Amino acid sequence: MVKAEVIIDEDLCQGCGYCVEFCSRGALKIRGDKFTSKGYLLPSVEPEKCTACGVCAWMCPEVAIEVYKYSPKLVI
């Protein structure tokens, strides 16, 4: 079961909404209830929908997004 994590840097995000636009899974939404310190609308992440494709990170002009994938690995 792949688990994904999307971290958005709240100091860098400018609420442009491209990540929401480009996410093919609808895993990011601007609900209107979260703000950055400058008053920009922060997106919220629904990690269950995320497949860790990384597109939101590529397309974020502020380079504010990091995407992590959790995958099961055999470890000694």
Instruction: Report the interface residues with another protein, using CB under 8 A.
Output: 3, 5, 11-18, 21-22, 40, 52-59, 61-76
Which distant-in-sequence residues (6+ apart) come within 8 Å of 72 by Cβ?
1
As a whole number of angstroms, the distance between CA 40 and CA 64 comes to: 13
| Residue closer to another protein, measured from CB, 5 or 46 | 5
Minimum CB–partner distance for residue 33 and another protein (Å): 18
DSSP state for residue 35 in the 8-state scheme: B
How near is the Cβ of 5 to another protein at its closest, in Å? 8
Q: How far apart are CA 55 and CA 72, in angstroms?
A: 22
- The least distance separating another protein from the CB of residue 34, rounded to whole angstroms, comes to 15
